[in-house]
Amino acid sequence: MISPQQSVFMLCKNTALDVFDGKVYDYLPGKEVAYPFIFIGEQFSNDIVNKSVIFANVTQRIHFFHNDFRERRSISDLILKYMQTIREEELAFKRNILVKEMNYRMLTDNTTDTPLMHGVLEITFLVN
C-alpha cells in the first residue's frame, strides 16, 4: 500500500505534468535550469489516529518559477489552472484524496542574477 504522503506527492507531480508542458522537478534544480519550471517541494503531514485505517492531513507545497517579471500573469494563470485541475481529482492511487484548502502567494525572488517570479501554492489534503 502506498503511504498517504506518497499518494499526495504523486498526485501533485502528475497534475503538474498534465497542466504544464515545461519541466517539472521533485528537487530544486541548479542555476543553469531553463525557465519556467515547477518544483514539487516540501511536504508536511499530520496523521489522524484510527483503529484500522491510516488517515492523514497532508500539506504539499508546489513552487512555480519564471525568470521574466513581465510573465507574472502567465505564472498566475498556470497556478489557477493547476488549482482547478487538482480539485477535479477525487481518487488517486487507490486512496480517497480530498482537497481541504489551498492558498498561494506570489513572491519576488532575488536568489539568482536574474530576478525571478516565484509562485508558492500550498494544498492541504485529507487522505484516507
pLDDT at 92: 63
pLDDT at 2: 81
Residues whose CB falls within 8 Å of the CB of residue 92, separated by 6 or more in sequence, listed in order:
7, 10, 11
Domain ranges of the chain: 4-115
Put simply, whether the predicted model's pTM sits higher than 0.95 gets the answer: no
Q: What is the pLDDT of residues 52-105, one digit of tens each?
A: 777 899 999 999 999 877 778 888 999 999 999 998 876 666 678 899 999 999
- CATH number (3.30.565, 2.40.30, 1.10.10, 3.30.2000) of 4-115 reads 3.30.2000
